[in-house]
Amino acid sequence: MIIEQIKKLLGHRYEALNRLEISRTSLRKNYRYLTSLNHKIKVAPVLKSNGYGHGLVEVAKILDPLNPPFFCVDSIYEAYKLLKAGVKSKILIMGYINPKNLAVKPLPFSYVAYDQEQLKEIMRYQPEAGVHIFVDTGMHREGIVLSNFPDFIKSIPKEGLKNIEGIMSHFASADQPERIETKQQVKDFKKAILILEKNNIFPKWRHIANSSGLLNNWVLGLDKASNLARCGIALYGIDPAGEDEQLKPTIKFITHIAQLKKLEKDDKVGYDLTYTAKWPSLMAVLPLGYNDGVDRKLSNKGRVCVNKTVCPIIGRVSMNITTIDVTRVKNVRVGTEAEIDFLMPIPDKIPYESLVHLNPEIKRVVV
């Protein structure tokens, strides 16, 4: 990581201008809360995409002592990174893997199989690995179509049946549990489980639900078909429906004021001069922008907190610079900390995007 290389060059005296604070307490509270929603449903934390921007290894090390059934990642790269970091929990790789990478050496991971060819490659190169079979119950992305599922099961060699440790699917609209399509997905998932059982296959894990699916379990009745949910966004303190106040934010984006400048009435600020000062004011320059994860759509709309005072973003958010109005802030100076509200609602943008677009090179600090 660049931060570590800089420390080697400059010594431990190096102070990062920007940092992301990851709350150990909030992350663990969210996990415990999610596991308490239904005693029949375990929770597997989803750590893909750099732990939803929080830091892959940082999140894993916080949750590892809580003994989750396994961590969900997208790639063999993410899984190997956790392995090298000393993570003890099991790891399920949910994304596609190039067979050449499977062939290198035996690895202690479980894999998701979407079709016959992928299952064949997993069993060929990783014969001891656990496999979770993915059934397409209606989202129509990856997975085995339900009508083809019986033939798929019959094609599995007898010696490979012992490897099947899970059956899974994924909701298209779990945040809309009353939709006919959502309810039909639950029904089709149950049908897939019955097909397995008719072939004397009884996998340990059955999972279709994401965060919204678990939070809406009371409508969907998932515990009758599932014993596990894969939770990502809720784990990080966000209910997609915005209704669950038990979930707590797990991340703060901290920067430092790099310059202060007085503005006169009618002074214009930033690219395209989109902001005009209505009266004499004090502006602060922050050393971060859309390269770091501050969305450009926050230009003239976003908020930053300085010394407990909410300050508006003024002018365009640039690649590495954001400017704010700090006129009302007491005791403000160069070096004063500022917290970016990078998760404020933006039209046509979901919180997932804001989190995963946080620059992976920004220093993550567990607090």
Query: Same structural domain for residues 259 and 339?
Result: yes
Query: Same structural domain for residues 255 and 304?
Result: yes
- pLDDT < 50 positions in the chain: none
Q: Residue 274 is encoded by which pair of tokens?
A: 């989109």
Query: Same structural domain for residues 33 and 140?
Result: yes
Please tell me the predicted confidence (pLDDT) of residue 255: 98
Global pTM value:
0.92
Active site residues: 48, 271
| Cα separation values, 310 from 40, 50, 146, 307, 353, Å | 43, 29, 52, 8, 24
Query: Same structural domain for residues 227 and 255?
Result: no
Please tell me the predicted confidence (pLDDT) of residue 158: 87
Is residue 10 one of the residues assigned to a domain? no
Please tell me the predicted confidence (pLDDT) of residue 218: 83
Count of structural domains within the chain: 2
Query: Same structural domain for residues 164 and 198?
Result: yes
Write the CATH number for 219: 3.20.20.10
Residue-range definition of the domain harbouring residue 72:
24-231
Is residue 28 one of the residues assigned to a domain? yes
Please tell me the predicted confidence (pLDDT) of residue 4: 66
Rounded to whole angstroms, the Cα distance separating 207 from 72 reads 12
Please tell me the predicted confidence (pLDDT) of residue 242: 84
